[in-house]
């Protein structure tokens, strides 16, 4: 059943929560998420929407454009591999470093599962569980000093608004991701913890 078209301007985190409350099960992004765009604002808005849709278990039809081979890392899609797999990946100069777009889509679909990289919040801390690399990693972040920054990163913000110490700590492990001149928080909130918190 078609429920309409939404513009992802403003509070897109709240917009996706409203869709979930209406029991929406499928969404489509009409524009390609372009990681070659030097600005990055549109890409981050779309990626945040995909993250939130994934968190609610809503399937997403979306297309991703990656930088050409050689300008990123061999698996530059891995920091996003916890998101619902894209329908298509566009990569000019297919093959070589990182593989073709079709290869990436197959690998992404094959490796995707629920709660692959997510977080839960408690009083003054965030617990992150990350399986994107194939091995389990757990991190607990004390948030007393950075609570407002965390809320801003959930929606994405210009890199100039993020302390260099935060970038140095959370960009390498992929907990924040850079698109153009913007940064955004990659793990999604796990609303139903799939296993006991004592099990890795």
Summarize pLDDT for 143-178 with one digit per residue, the tens: 777 788 998 999 999 999 999 999 999 999 999 999
Rg (CA), the chain: 16
6-10, 32-36, 70-74, 133-137: the lowest-pLDDT one: 70-74
* Tokens found for residue 67: 């930088």
* Max CA separation in the chain (angstroms): 47
Model-level pTM? Answer: 0.88
Which pLDDT value is given to residue 74? 56
Segment (H or E) for 19: helix 12-21
Q: What share of the chain is helix, strand, coil (3-state, %, to 5)?
A: 30, 20, 50
- State the DSSP H helix or E strand holding residue 64, giving kind and residue range, or none if neither: strand 63-65
Give per-residue pLDDT as tens, 74-118: 568 999 999 999 999 998 665 555 568 899 999 999 999 989 999
Q: What is the DSSP letter of 30?
A: S
Distance CA 196, CA 17 (A): 25
Q: Are 160 and 151 in contact (CB under 8 A)?
A: no
Q: For residue 117, what pLDDT is reported?
A: 96
The mean of the pLDDT values for the chain is 86
């Amino acid at each position: 059943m078609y429920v309409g078209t939404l513009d992802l301007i403003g509070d897109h985190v709240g917009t996706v929560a409203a869709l979930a409350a209406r029991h929406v099960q499928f969404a489509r992004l009409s524009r390609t998420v372009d990681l070659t765009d030097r600005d990055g604002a549109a890409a981050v808005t779309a990626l945040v929407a995909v993250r939130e849709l994934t968190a609610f278990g809503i399937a997403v039809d979306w297309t991703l454009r990656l930088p050409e081979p050689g300008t990123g890392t061999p698996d530059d899609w891995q920091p996003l591999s916890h998101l619902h797999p894209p329908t298509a990946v566009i990569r000019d100069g297919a093959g070589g470093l990182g593989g073709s777009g079709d290869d990436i889509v197959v690998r992404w679909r094959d490796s995707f599962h629920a709660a692959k990289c997510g977080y839960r919040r408690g009083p003054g801390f965030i617990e992150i569980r990350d399986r994107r690399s194939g091995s389990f990693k757990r991190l607990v972040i004390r948030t007393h000093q950075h609570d407002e920054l965390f809320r801003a990163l959930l929606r994405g913000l210009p890199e100039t608004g993020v302390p260099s110490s935060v970038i140095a700590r959370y960009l390498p492990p992929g907990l924040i991701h850079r698109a153009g001149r913007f940064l955004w928080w990659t793990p999604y909130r796990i609303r139903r913890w799939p296993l006991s918190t004592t099990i890795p």
